[in-house]
Every structure is written in C-alpha cells, then in structure tokens.
Amino acid sequence: MRIAMITETWPPEINGVALTVAGLVQGLRDAGHVVQVVRPRQPEADAASEAPDSVLVRGARLPRYPGLQLGLPTSRRLRALWRTERPDAIYVATEGPLGYSALRAARALGIPASTGFHTRFDDFARHYGFGFLTPVVFAYLRRFHREGAATLVPTVELRDFLIDNKFGNVVLLRRAVDNRVFSPLRRDAALRAQWGLNENQLAVIYVGRIAPEKNLQLAVRAFREIQKVQRDARYIWVGDGPARATLAAENPDFIFAGIRRGEDLARHFASADLFLFPSLSETFGNVTLEALASGVPAVAFDYGAAREHLREDCGRRVPIDDAERFVRAALELVRGDVMRPQIRAAAVAAVADLDPASVADAFAGVLAGLARAAGTPRATAQLREGAT
C-alpha cells in the first residue's frame, strides 16, 4: 500500500506520539509499504538534509510546551500533492492545524482517512491553567476524529470511553515496545556506579516529561517513604521540562540525567530497580511498556498501559487518584524485595508479545480495510492477491 502519515511531532522530539508514529512508519516500511510522512520542519534536525519520503511544512511553537510545535494548515499543498501521488489511505496522528487540513484534503479527494487518539489535550488544558476550556477542547477533539473513517486507540478502556462519548468508529490498535532495544541485558554496573550505587542498592527511576501534569509530587512523596526503608536508595530522573528546576532545587539529592534516547535510554531503564509513574494525564503511557521490557517493575495508576499490561507479579496497579495507595504499593514492592529475579522476568514476560512487526501488520490491516471500503483501486487489487 501507499500510505501517508501526518504528524505534528517527530523524532528527535521525545514524546509518546513521536516515538509511536516513528515506530509505525518503520514497521510499515519493513513490511514493504510505501510511506510518506507529512510533518513540520524541524529547523535544527532538518538543516543538513531532507528525507525524500518526507513532506516538510511550516510550523509554529506550541505555547507553554517548549520543544513541540503545531504544523500550520496546508490543505491546498496536500491536495496538489495527493492528486499526483495519491495514497491509498492516510493516518492523522495529531489534532492540530496540520492534521485538520490533511483530513480536509483527503475528504476533498475521496481518500480514506484514519486518526489516532494519542493525547488527552482536554486534560492538558486543566493542568496548564485553562480548565474552563476543557469542555471546548473535548468537543473539538470529538469533531476532529469524526472527520476520519476510524479513530485508532491503544486500550480497551479508551475505546469504550470514546464510543460512549460518540466519537464514531473507534478501533483498538495495541502499542508496541521494541524488546531489541529495551531489555534487561542493557543493565550497566558502571552506570549504577555513577549514580553512587552497587548492585545491592535500590535505584528508583522516573522517565518522562518533568511537568505539572505528571503529578510529580506524589512520586517524590513515595520515594521519601521508600528511603525510610532503604536509606541509601537513589532517585534517577530521565527527561526534561518546566518543573525540573524547581524539583531539583527542592530535592538536591535527586540525580537528573536529562533527555536520553534509544539504547542510552534503554540502558538507564535497565539499570534501575523500580519505576514510579504517578501521572494521571496519559492517554496510554509508553514508558510503562519500556520499563517492563527492561525488566523493571512499576507502580502506576490503573488506566492506560498499566491497566492493559501491568500484572501483580511485576508491579502494582493502583486505583485512580488514590495517592495513599500509590505510596503503600511502592513500599510493598520494596519490602518484598523488588530486585528479585522472578519479578524482573515477569516484567519482561508481560510485554513479550507486543513486538513492532505484529503491531505494524495490524495497523496496515486497518488501513487496507478502509481503502477497500472506499474502493481504492490499488488496495483492492492487493487485497485480492492476499496482500495487505
């Protein structure tokens, strides 16, 4: 198939949407599909060269969220492009101006379009002081996704929620985690030594955006209780964000490793012993899968990735918004020897079947079904031959 992927975030930007979309693109290409990526130009990352399979558009920085940008509307350009290089289907991963203009262009040309619900922007409005806009933002999200033929979501919980809120055709597509990258084999004694730890001492880790919407004070509180049991425990923070400076000033004993990518990130994950993830604003939470694939047990609230994949033998799922239970769950794991090999093995087993190739195949199948329903000639011919 010929597929166009539209996204307003892309590596080297680090967030769940960018990494998920990039993983899907790679999986589709590995399976032989032709994939075009439409995204905003990244002045620094794209200065040296342009990939021939990328369509780069103008962007504008997202207010109060440094490092990300919105793609500006470009319906006319996309209509002209897709008239000559017509995709069989498109996938719109983000709900900004670029994504909306792509949906309009696809509708004008009769190209089947799917969307991905990756981010609860209605929650973000609340956390950044615009709570009064939450109903307006949610109404926009519903209108946006109803423009597509299908909305793809990563969990049963989110699928049911969107169906109940009249989002239209909502389809479950599991997220992948690359266990070739995230693996217990990347555990690094030298890195732990840099943290001031030997193999018998506890390393607690946080990975993600260091920002108000992540409920970070609960993570700090849980760690301080852990220290009463393991006095020499260290807390490692991987990532960056607007709350980092304040958090560091208030907690001078914390280790801030900054932004890490790829195998370096996997090395940090695997070298830790417990992942505390107190966020209540995730649509999914890819980092939970990455922790488990790295053999690191987790404590997280009972929704998103944790509800789907976190089991009692490799961590704790806590009732939503129950801060006291979150702290107690972290202490239970530490007191029960969270570093036992059985717990690490159970964590890896919990996500062993979420390989990128199978998820990319399922994604291609969804898009092929939309193309067939719309009567796209190339996709119909391929389906008759047994291809996706």
Q: Are 287 and 214 in contact (CB under 8 A)?
A: no
Q: Above 50 in pLDDT, residue 380?
A: no
Q: Are 366 and 90 in contact (CB under 8 A)?
A: no
How far lies 135's CA from each of 121, 139, 284, in Å?
11, 6, 21
What is the reported pLDDT for 131? 56
Predicted confidence (pLDDT) per residue in 69-83, tens digit? 778 889 999 999 999
What distance in Å separates the CA atoms of residue 372 and residue 334, rounded to the nearest whole number? 53
Nearest to 117 by CA among 88, 147, 87, 89: 147
Nearest to 283 by CA among 264, 302, 303: 303
- Which amino acid makes up residue 56? L
Predicted confidence (pLDDT) per residue in 174-230, tens digit? 999 999 999 999 999 999 999 999 999 999 999 999 998 899 999 999 999 999 999
Quote the radius of gyration of the chain (alpha carbons, Å). Answer: 21
Angle between the N-to-C axes of helices 286-293 and 341-350, in degrees from 0 to 180, rounded to the nearest 10:
130
Residue 184 has phi, psi (to 5 degrees) of: -60, -20
Is the omega angle on the peptide bond into residue 356 within 30 degrees of 0, that is, cis?
Answer: no
What distance in Å separates the CA atoms of residue 257 and residue 301, rounded to the nearest whole number? 24
What is the reported pLDDT for 382? 45
- For the record, the structure tokens of 384 come out as 């008759």
What is the reported pLDDT for 120? 59
Domains in the chain, ordered, with CATH? Answer: 2-176+355-384 (3.40.50.2000), 184-350 (3.40.50.2000)
Nearest to 222 by CA among 329, 319, 327, 333: 327
What is the reported pLDDT for 70? 76
Predicted confidence (pLDDT) per residue in 191-200, tens digit? 999 999 999 9
Q: Above 50 in pLDDT, residue 351?
A: yes
Q: Which of 33-37, 56-60, 118-122, 318-322 comes out lowest in average pLDDT?
A: 118-122
What is the reported pLDDT for 65? 58
